[in-house]
Amino acid sequence: MKRIVLILIITFFVWIKFEDFYFVPVIAISGFFFIQLIIDSTNKFAFREWCIFLYCLNYLIAPAITYQFDQSTLFYPMKIPASEYFAVSIPGVMCFIWGMYASKTTIFTPNVVKLDRDSRNNELLLRKFVILGVALQIAKPLFPVGIAFFIYLFSSIRYVGVFGLFSMNSGKYWKWICAVFLVEFYFAIKAALFHDAMMWVLFFALFYVFIKKPKFIFRLVGLFVLIFIVLSIQSVKSIYRSKVWQQSEESSIGLFAATTLESQSDVGGENNLLSSLNRSNQAWIFASTKSRMDRTGDFQGLHILGIYFEAAVLPRFLFPNKIKSGDKEIFNTFSGHVINNSTSMGLGVFADGYIAYGFFGVLIFTFGLGILFNITFKFIESWSKLSTFYVLLVLPILNYAIRPDCELQTTINHITKGIFVFGILVMFTKFNFVVELNKELIKRSKKFA
């Protein structure tokens, strides 16, 4: 009850300040999950709350801020009025939340004692996970393109292993955590791709809070620091990528540091944090797509979704002409923008839904995406009955898929292949946990005999 009162008070004062009605549901929805993220993160692994807040940030908060400025001064302006935009985005976010909570799951409230026990009984196996995952990450460029994605997926087992080790003995394995993250950031800087590094830091923060249960003020300050770091990286990454990919400068830690200082010293234009927030959200792409579809009326029904499923599920050696991840044709056709091959942008589930059936397409697609995530939770929940340790597999399976800017094709692809890859892993490792648990129970029975 206190949380609701707090949200209502904040919403009231924000509404008085900006005098825009759409700020009421924007602040109410986003504020609720923000408070959930801060307060309840010690009682549960707040992965789902973080995912929802990420969508609120992209589709509600960022556009609400963007609409406060003269659109003609922005590089990525909103092409439709705020009333039109929020009339679709707010119900869409609500349908997404509905889908995410469509059925109960226990994977976000694992028994910490059992998690520690399963980790302790398989300490050697978890070490092997970390070493193998890091080795695969380093050797990934050596593998054929056809299996590179599976190698990428399986290499993320390093985080599952190191999180398990940390939960078991943080004092002993904090160096392992640091080493894994240093390797991650090194490859992020070399490739000028920062998503994985940022997301794994955020996941570890959620996991740390759940395991260690720090005080409220520590959690609040930590969250704001993380948000600031993410926005700062967003503000510098496009400039850094331009230098590396287009100007052929050699990627390095030194170049990244110099670019960061250059970006922070430029307080105007496209390099400030406001511009970063605008660039990182999906709202302007959705708004542009809606504007274009309302103008042309060429709604596609389930045709595009069928193409996405084909690309995600069917093997390429049998269907060589299926679209590739990052293909620009659909984006260029329906978004109202044309981008080249060096630019990475995706339509996102809101735009895909509107392309299909307009307003009701957004509701159907966002609810469907929430259901897809919920089904994934159920798969992992079935694995967790073998060992609590397996709840950590939610991270590599949904690491990329929960991105609001992720192409729906890529989301389906990641989840499908992730469940397949880690389902095999569970099949081959579950005996380790069962055998070790039986050994422990036998030892205890002898001790008390």
Q: What is the pLDDT of residue 318?
A: 63
The residue with greater pLDDT, 277 or 33, is 33
Q: What is the pLDDT of residue 41?
A: 87
d(CA 377, CA 44) in angstroms, rounded, equals 15
Give the global pTM.
0.86
The pLDDT of residue 328 is above 70: yes
Q: What is the DSSP string of 24-77?
A: HHHHHHHHHHHHHHHHGGGTS-THHHHHHHHHHIIIIIHHHHHTTS-GGG-SS-
Least confident of 43-52, 264-273, 391-400: 264-273
Mean pLDDT of the chain: 81
Scan for tokens 């593998």, then name that residue: 143
Q: What is the pLDDT of residue 268?
A: 46
Q: Once rounded to an integer, what is the mean pLDDT over residues 248-275?
A: 63
The pLDDT of residue 123 is above 80: yes
The pLDDT of residue 445 is above 50: no
| Residue 372: pLDDT band with limits 50, 70, 90 | very high
Q: Once rounded to an integer, what is the mean pLDDT over residues 375-381?
A: 93
User: Which 3 state secondary structure label does DSSP give 379?
Assistant: helix
Each residue's pLDDT tens digit, 127-150 = 999 999 999 998 888 888 778 888
The pLDDT of residue 297 is above 60: yes
| Residue 306: pLDDT band with limits 50, 70, 90 | confident
Beta strands in 115-168 (DSSP E): none
d(CA 325, CA 409) in angstroms, rounded, equals 7
The pLDDT of residue 448 is above 50: no
Q: What is the pLDDT of residue 88?
A: 93
- Among residues 413, 38, 420, 7, the alpha carbon closest in space to that of 221 is found at 38
The residue with greater pLDDT, 32 or 233, is 32
